[in-house]
Structures are given as C-alpha cells and as structure tokens.
Structure 1
Amino acid sequence: MGECTGEAYTVKITAEDRVSAVLPLQEHWLPLSNLDLLLPPLDVGVFFCYKNGDTLSRYLDDFDGMVSVLKASLAKALVAYYPLAGEVVANSAGEPEVLCNNRGVDFIVASADVDLERLNLYNADESVEKKLVPEKKGGVISVQEVILEGTHT
C-alpha cells in the first residue's frame, strides 16, 4: 500500500480501512466547549506495546486475528462514544463543531522493520510520531496497528 521511511527504520502500510459504529446513528452536531475554541487544535498520539508470544512466527500467525478483534471491539465502542466516529467541520458561523455522522475511524495496519529496544521512547516525537502513530486524515481519531519485525540482534 504505502511506505514511510523513518529515521532508522521503515514502516510499511499493508492495509487501510475505516471502522464505523456497529449500530446506525442519527446524524447531529455537537458544539465544542469554549475551552476547545480558545486553545489551538491538539492531536494526541498514543503508543501501546504488547509482549509477543514465544516466537515471532507465533505472533505473526495471531496478528490478523488481533486486528479483527480490535476492529470489532472498536466498532462496538463507537456506539457509546459516537462523537469519535464523526469529524470536526466548520458550522455556519465558521466555528469548528463535531459532526456526528458515523464517518468512522481510519484504521491502518502496518509493519516496521525495527525492534522495540531500538526506539528512542525518550524522544517519541522523533522515533514514533507519524511513523507508528498515524496522522488523522479527517476524522476525530485514527488507529494504527503495527507489528515490529526487527532483526532481533
């Protein structure tokens, strides 16, 4: 699909999808708070690591199953947290509001040729941001699931 070369490693996007709430939602607008309107827009990236199984091959076999479970769980969670499945757009006065339209969450699956030990987590902006944490393309949030396929040296 795509490839993004990082400082010391490459992230290869293998699949892109959009996950919406499992139940239909009525489209409506939610105004932002006064604090949201005063502060500049803020993107928050979250990076989670999980220990793989005994071997990398076992982890690779389970990876597709983990992606499916995460997508199904996200679709269920978006029913209760429906604004996250919307998008921020300008209202008639030009102010940003959340359009709750069940647009869905961008869901990206990727692999990176790096070991977790090689990532500089003290400077996450340099080693993780926009590589292992995706940029939003238009929705409120986006999710990227990455398998680290380092050399294990």
Structure 2
Amino acid sequence: MFRIARTGLSQFSDADSLALGESGQKLLNQFCFSEGWAGNLSNGLFRLGESAAAMHGLHQPECGLLNLVRCYDSADRNHVLRLFEQAATTSSSFCFSTTIILASGQKQPVFCVGESSGLEQRYCGSMLGVFFFPRFQLETKGRIFSHHQ
C-alpha cells in the first residue's frame, strides 16, 4: 500500500479527539509498537527514534532517505522512494506499508503514516510521521507467523 493525499491535511484540529483512552492504548500496545520520526528537507536527513532506527538496521538515529529504505523489501523500495519524493515537493499526507528484511532472514512488517509541510520555498520544509511495527515477524520461506516480543 502506497498512498499520498494532497487535501485534508491535519483535519483533526483537536488533539484530544485523537487521544485513545487507556484501554485503547493498551490494546494498541498489545498488537504493535510505534515510534515517531522527523525529516528535515533542507538537509535531507531523517531522525528516527532509537527503536525505529534499530528495526531499520541503523546504528544511529539520523540518516538519509536511501539508508532508511535500504532494508525494505526490494519490490517496495522504489515505490517508497517515489512517495517520499512526491511528499517533498507538495505538502501532503501519506502512508505506506512494507516489510523490513532482518539479519535473521525474517521479515518485519512496518506501516508508516506521515505528513510534509512548509514547502512554500525551495529546499525548505519538513516531514513528520510515525512507524508502526506489528508484534510478529514473517518467515521468508514458509508462511508461518512468529510472535515478536
């Protein structure tokens, strides 16, 4: 899934309307963990949280786009790059899902939702988003699911 939307940015003006109740947060944490990220379009660097950086096989939280997507399934990599390219040229909301190929050979699903803004001047702007990592991995040879702790 690769989607970009140019309308309806930040439709939810009231942050409380998006807040999950305690039971909703527990339910979300049961199925996945999430971590935010930010991109600076003036220098092309992305800053990930510690866990998201580790899941992407990065040794530091700051990286360029090519280093970020290097671990993604090769069939999806170019789609994700094009999506980020589009979002870097027009203020947009976007999302994608793919799998990260881990050193163990297993595949970790990842979902990303983000938004770009401040693109009125060339080489300016930023991106902000969140990665969601389901608490399971996919085996590459069989179609067996294993629980990720």
- TM bucket by the smaller chain? under 0.3
**TM superposition score normalised by structure 2:** 0.26
Give the structure with the higher percent strand.
Answer: 2
Higher CA-based Rg: 1
**TM superposition score normalised by structure 1:** 0.26
